Amino acid sequence: MTTLRQFEMGLRLEQYMATMAQGKENFRANFVKATEALSADDLAFFRGLPIPINVAVATEDANLDALRDVPIIGRLSAQVRTLVLRLFRPTTHADVIQAIAQDASSLKMDGTDGGVRLPIIAFYTPEMQLIGAHVCRLPELSAEMNRRRSAWIESHPEVLDAREPMEKMTPITRTRLTQAMYALTSEERAMWGRLTVQYWRRILRETSSLSSRSN
């Protein structure tokens, strides 16, 4: 389990943003747009949490799922003050990321058994008892991206390596397919952002007696 000492080693949001080597402008833009995913009811829910929640985020600067979701948890933490956010990179916090991934795996969540999948957004009590975790992306979004992948492959029969695993594709094919899978309109981005915040709410809502667990 991730310890409080490990959690406190993480970067604060401003430190993380200042030291991003890739994707900084996208992250900042998505941080500004994150307000579109946060309703007044969402903010009231998180502000009303009975205890502070430690949020450990295992992430990579250029990870496309991270560039979509991490700015939202960052903006939320900045606005509600009940979420204590720390961020970790594989290059500097490999042991902590492994601990966070093991915590997520203990929940027997889909996709956590085949190695570390980032980002991981893990929620803990102040004493670092695991509450729940969000790994990589929403299951519904994964299904939509798989649908887009299949549609792109079917519509491009001339791309011979498109049916190969991503790591075996040429860089050009991989880039084209990734763009097709991840492209979101502003309306779609806001919609998935709202659904992601609702997912986080369910993680915390379904945990009974949060305040008693912290004693």
Dump pLDDT digits (tens) for 110-160.
Answer: 444 446 789 999 999 999 999 999 999 999 999 999 999 999 999 999 999
Angle formed by the axes of helices 171-182 and 64-80, nearest 10°: 40
Q: What local confidence, expressed as pLDDT, does residue 115 receive?
A: 60
State how far Cα 198 lies from the chain centre.
13
Tell me, which fold does domain 4-136+186-213 have in CATH? Glutaredoxin (3.40.30)
pLDDT digits (tens, 9 = 90+) for 157-181: 999 999 999 899 999 999 999 999 9
Residue 196 near residue 69, CB atoms below 8 Å: yes
Q: What local confidence, expressed as pLDDT, does residue 109 receive?
A: 55
Q: Taking the CA of residue 127 as centre, how many other CA atoms within 13 Å lie in the half-sphere pointing to its CB?
A: 7
Q: What local confidence, expressed as pLDDT, does residue 14 receive?
A: 97
Angle formed by the axes of helices 40-47 and 64-80, nearest 10°: 70
**CA-to-CA distance for 196 and 8, rounded, in angstroms?**
25
Sheet strands side by side (includes 120-124): 83-88, 53-58, 120-124, 130-135
Q: What local confidence, expressed as pLDDT, does residue 108 receive?
A: 65
- Categorize the per-residue pLDDT at 107 as very low, low, confident or very high, splitting at 50, 70 and 90: confident
- Location of structure tokens 């939509």: 144
Q: Where are the domains of the chain?
A: 4-136+186-213, 141-179
pLDDT digits (tens, 9 = 90+) for 6-63: 999 999 999 999 999 999 999 999 999 999 999 999 999 999 999 999 999 999 999 9
Q: What local confidence, expressed as pLDDT, does residue 110 receive?
A: 46
Work out the average pLDDT over 177-193.
93
**CA-to-CA distance for 121 and 42, rounded, in angstroms?**
18
Please report which residue ranges of the chain form alpha helices under DSSP H: 4-8, 13-18, 24-33, 40-47, 64-80, 94-106, 139-155, 171-182, 186-205, 210-213
**CA-to-CA distance for 86 and 131, rounded, in angstroms?**
16
Work out the average pLDDT over 102-114.
69
Q: What local confidence, expressed as pLDDT, does residue 206 receive?
A: 62
Q: What local confidence, expressed as pLDDT, does residue 9 receive?
A: 97
Angle formed by the axes of helices 186-205 and 64-80, nearest 10°: 60
Q: Does the pLDDT value for residue 213 go beyond 60?
A: no
Angle (CA) 122 69 199, round 5°: 60
pLDDT digits (tens, 9 = 90+) for 56-101: 999 999 999 999 999 999 999 999 989 999 999 999 999 999 999 9
Q: Does the pLDDT value for residue 212 go beyond 70?
A: no
Q: Does the pLDDT value for residue 211 go beyond 70?
A: no
